[in-house]
Amino acid sequence: MTASAPPTSSATHPEVIAPLLLDYYDAHARRLPWRAIPGDPPPDPYRVWLSEVMLQQTTVAAVIPYFEKFTRRWPDVEALAAAPEEDVMAAWAGLGYYSRARNLVACARAVAERGGFPEEEAELLKLPGLGAYTAAAVAAIAFGKRAVVVDANVERVVSRLFAISTPLPSARKEIRQATCRIVPDERAGDFAQALMDLGATICTTREPRCLLCPLAQHCRGRATGDPAFFPVKPPKKAKPVRQGTAYWMERGGAVWLVTRPGKGMLGGMRALPDDGWKASASGDRAAPVPGKWRECGSVRHVFTHFALELDVLASAGEPASDPTGAGEWWPLDRLEEAGLPTLFARAAAMAIANRSEPFMPD
């Protein structure tokens, strides 16, 4: 990195940073369906909580249609608490990280039982599925409490503002402490959202737009000449690749679907039956029913800790009896309503598109 003049004033005091950032936020805040416009009363804590859960590991653009669909169908926490879990899981399909949907239902029911969301961060942390980040976000944004809200965008902004050179994830404690030093006592929720907006639109991962940044003159990362160097990340490890097989079976205009176990990958979701993603090296496949099968191709999906290559096999004819194990025949003309996760939705589309492929030999 090339050194340059240091920032013109300290970045360690809220009286330096907060006014600049809040003025910027008042003029440039993103308009999002879960937010209140600066100067308006805080948004409903239900909407704040729901949006923050959805936004974990997911982009704003992807979340907006899901948020709008959820709030139309379940406009408040009581409505969501009364919803069958399978309906919520189906509505969540395609958003990923499905344990969030199960936690969503459990938390909604706990909140409805206690008569509403608690205002204090410590009490919010006691709710099912609420981690430190979500509890702080709800406390600050919905209730105006002074809380330290650190998501990936805030992490990037603060690591640059203070030129924190400790590699992640070890740097996270230091980043949180630095964030705490600049959070103001007033408008803590707006300040948290302002940091998020700055990271999303100006202080971006690559090629930060420092000339437009309201904090540029106080940014130690910019003073080094290479703000994009921060946050420092360790080298990425190659993800292991798993192999598996999914099975497509039709009968009477319906396809056989199973519900995955509540715990584990894609837990509680409807899906095509599969082999547990443990295809043997010999290529032997334990099909759910005997008979001929046709190869439809394969789909690849990347999870957090591994990549999966899933072969798709389709039954050559209608099974004479139901496959072994619990499942249901789901009408093909209503397949979109099944809420298949992205992996199995792609596998289903492949099976439908490849009905004319040759059969595999017995």
Cα atoms in the Cβ-side hemisphere of radius 13 Å centred on 221: 25
Q: Which amino acid is at 86?
A: E
Quote the Cα angle for 265-98-338, to 5°.
Answer: 95
Tokens 């497509």, located at residue:
248
Confirm if 129 and 105 have CB atoms less than 8 A apart.
Answer: no
Closest C-alpha to 227, from 165, 151, 299: 165
DSSP state, residue 59: -
- Cα(157)–Cα(203) distance, integer angstroms: 6
| Residues 245 and 279 sit within 8 Å (Cβ to Cβ) | yes
CA atoms within 13 A on the CB side of 174: 16
Tell the residue number behind the tokens 């095509």, with chain if given: 272
CA 199 to chain centre: 17
- Three-state DSSP at 211 gives helix
Q: Is the peptide bond before 184 cis (omega within 30 degrees of 0)?
A: no
Q: How far is CA 309 from CA 97, 141, 277, 283, in A?
A: 18, 41, 9, 14
Peptide bond preceding 231 in cis form (omega within 30 of 0): yes
Q: Is 336 a catalytic residue?
A: no
> What is the residue type of 64?
I
- Give the CB-side neighbour count of residue 109, counting CA atoms within 13 A: 13
**Cα distance between residue 357 and residue 71, in whole Å:** 43
Say how far apart CA 313 and CA 97 lie, in whole Å.
26
Exactly one of 15, 52, 113, 318 is catalytic; name it: 52
DSSP 356: T
Residues noted as catalytic: 52
